[in-house]
Chains A and B, each alone.
Chain A
Amino acid sequence: MHLALIDWLVMLVYFGFVLGIGFALRRYIRSSNDFFLAGRSIPAWVCGLAFISANVGAQEVLGMGASGAKYGIVMSHFYWIGAIPAMLFVGYFMMPFYYGSKARSVPEYLRMRYDEKTRALNAFSFAIMTIFSSGISLYAMALLIQTLGLLDGLIPHAWVFHFSIFLSAAIVLGYIFLGGLSSAIYNEVLQFFLIVAGFLPLVWIGLRNVGGWAAIQQRLPATMTHSWRGMEHASTNSLGVGVVGLVMGLGFVLSFGYWCTDFLVIQRAMAAESQESARLVPVIAAIPKMFFPFVVILPGLIAVCVTSHALAPATASAPAAIVAGVSAAPTPGIAEGPQVKEIHPHGIIPQKVDPITGEPVLDSTGAPVYNYDLATPLLLIHFFPAGMLGLGITALLASFMSGMAGNVTAFNTVWTYDIYQSYIRKNASDSHYLWMGRAATVGGILLSIGAAYAVTSFNNIYDALQLIFSLVNAPLFATFLLGMFWKRTTGHAAFAGLLSGSAAALLHHGLTIPQGALPGIHGGWIATLHIYPSDMAQNFWTAIFSFSVNLVVTTVVSVLTRPRPEGELVGLVYSLTPRHIDSSLPWYKRPIWIASGVAAMALVLNFLFR
């Protein structure tokens, strides 16, 4: 695909601004506090937008477009169930402890609340995960640039992948190295608005073309256009998840475990100018988050509807036998129940082609495999004329960069404060730690590049990483929940609980398997005691088991060990911290009213798309 001069101009203007912000903020960075916490001086709405922008990485824009094309609007559960409640909870209930304790990072809060070993466990596992997440963002971005052929004709094809990796790494390095967290946050605000500016017109023109939401509903199976249709049982919806697994696994354990404990997002709220602002950050972030399905999932649904007014593409390009195969064979990895076997159009989604042989990839039943990851980018190319296409591509690249930068700023802070300052060099000057933060930014980016190449060279590493992330993250929320709301919880208990929670997750994974998968990286490597209808269901239930084991072990060990004196826990535990009275604010600025409004709106959205 060739971009016109105007497309390049739009991209250049954006990247000029990105680096310009880094330079402009450079002179405000005088202490490590400025670099790592943005001097705790940023208004709530700015942090709020950064809060969701940092979370919108590669996985979200491409992944949600892909899942929208594959499963439909049902993916909105990842927002309305799997994000909003947790975001409101962390803002309203947990922020006072994170912000009020003056901890500089989430692992540091764990040291204040529990002990050194719990902090170390969290800091090391978190640091490793941020590097791999950032590497995955980098890899996905380079792969997309290569697949779309954005740079073809400018540099030799064999170099495109490497060039893309190093150029994007250099840009992210540039603006974080110069301006630290404030530069990352400012850029995330720009990235947020760019993502909206790039995708909103896409959705508008796409809906206009396919004939609106009503036409999509007519063309696609009902389970794709309703988020609660068939949710009563795992076998009657395309996700293969029942309502208990969905609400408990996704809506409670996984989502609270991410939004309430992940320093990547919490760091944005910690940069707020006051405790009231910090509480508002996740609540404000929840407002745009609620509407994100319309910007990122809807393009996927439009993409599968687009060309069906002409010939279905599969019919046009392949013999009827393959089409019959599509309707009969379930999508790989997902077991479709009896009621879900309606013909699923593929629109502009291309078939996966083996890069070496050039032959289409077929699954074990001989049906073609579709490359859903290209749903959103191909829709951009399909509808956007030169000019707008530049904006759309810029929005895509912006989403990758915001995800990567979020990981890098979280990494350099945890490395410098929780690892370097705690275990390597304790009493250095502040300017030394500022220097270390910049060095850690360079180191983090280099490690991310290494991680990106690791993902490139080993086919299975992506699945392995997802598995490790779920093992580490699944038990986390129980530790924070008990720590913040039960003063009796002890450090030994938290440590034991976290380890046994991860062990339980590993064990559950080894004993269960999603339908249709082979024992190994997808589970069942000990024995197969239970078969889940889909890998999503397995993932949700792994989390539920892991959380419950952590909850029980932490409670039991707490009762058996000596608690810390209450005086040491003031400001860290709910019952020992004076309630913050926010009656000085006008009612529409109080977190409780904004949070209630958001919750009501999320209910309405669930009802509208039920």
Chain B
Amino acid sequence: MGLDVRLSLGLLFLAIGALLALYGLFTMGSDLYAKSIGVNLNLIWGSIMMTLGLLAAWLGRKPK
């Protein structure tokens, strides 16, 4: 197959991770996080997803 699933997966995680991390940055210290017992889950998990997404996309990049 011509499409590497790691690339699609990486881009998906990168996109969702970036959305969450940015949202987390803008809502830092907000009482939104009372629910998640004070942890800014958006920022933390968003950044983790971005990192994993970058890694997967890099592994699945098109060979030159």
- Among A186, A382, A391, max chain B CB count under 10 A is at A391
A9 CB-CB contact with B under 8 Å: yes
Is there an interface contact between A205 and B39, defined as CB atoms closer than 8 Å? yes
A13 CB-CB contact with B under 8 Å: yes
A interface footprint on B4-47 (CB within 8 Å = 1, 0 otherwise): 01001101110110011001100100001101110101100110
- Give min CB distance, A384 to chain B, whole Å: 7
B54 CB-CB contact with A under 8 Å: no
B63 CB-CB contact with A under 8 Å: no
CA distance A14 to B12 in the complex (A): 7
- Among B1, B15, B45, max chain A CB count under 10 A is at B1
Is there an interface contact between B35 and A41, defined as CB atoms closer than 8 Å? no
A205-B36, A385-B36 are known contacts. Are A6 and B12 too (CB-CB below 8 A)?
no
Q: Which residue on A lies nearest to B3, using beta carbons?
A: A24
A384-B41, A385-B32, A388-B20 are known contacts. Are A193 and B9 too (CB-CB below 8 A)?
yes
Is there an interface contact between A182 and B1, defined as CB atoms closer than 8 Å? yes
- Give min CB distance, B1 to chain A, whole Å: 6
A420 CB-CB contact with B under 8 Å: no
A17 CB-CB contact with B under 8 Å: yes
Is there an interface contact between B5 and A13, defined as CB atoms closer than 8 Å? no
B15 CB contact (under 8 Å) in A13, A25, A205: A13
Q: Which residue on B lies nearest to A192, using beta carbons?
A: B9
Is there an interface contact between B35 and A384, defined as CB atoms closer than 8 Å? yes
Is there an interface contact between A13 and B16, defined as CB atoms closer than 8 Å? yes
Interface of chain B: mostly helix, strand, loop or mixed: helix
Is there an interface contact between A387 and B42, defined as CB atoms closer than 8 Å? yes
Is there an interface contact between B35 and A387, defined as CB atoms closer than 8 Å? no
B37 CB contact (under 8 Å) in A38, A182, A208: A208
Q: What chain B residues lie within 8 Å of A197 (beta carbons)?
A: 13, 16, 45, 49
- Give min CB distance, B18 to chain A, whole Å: 10
Is there an interface contact between B1 and A41, defined as CB atoms closer than 8 Å? yes
CA distance A386 to B11 in the complex (A): 22
Q: What chain A residues lie within 8 Å of B49 (beta carbons)?
A: 197
A572 CB-CB contact with B under 8 Å: no
Q: What chain A residues lie within 8 Å of B19 (beta carbons)?
A: 6, 9-10, 13, 387
Residues of B in contact with A (beta carbons under 8 Å apart): 1-3, 5, 8-9, 11-13, 15-16, 19-20, 23-24, 27, 32-33, 35-37, 39, 41-42, 45-46, 49
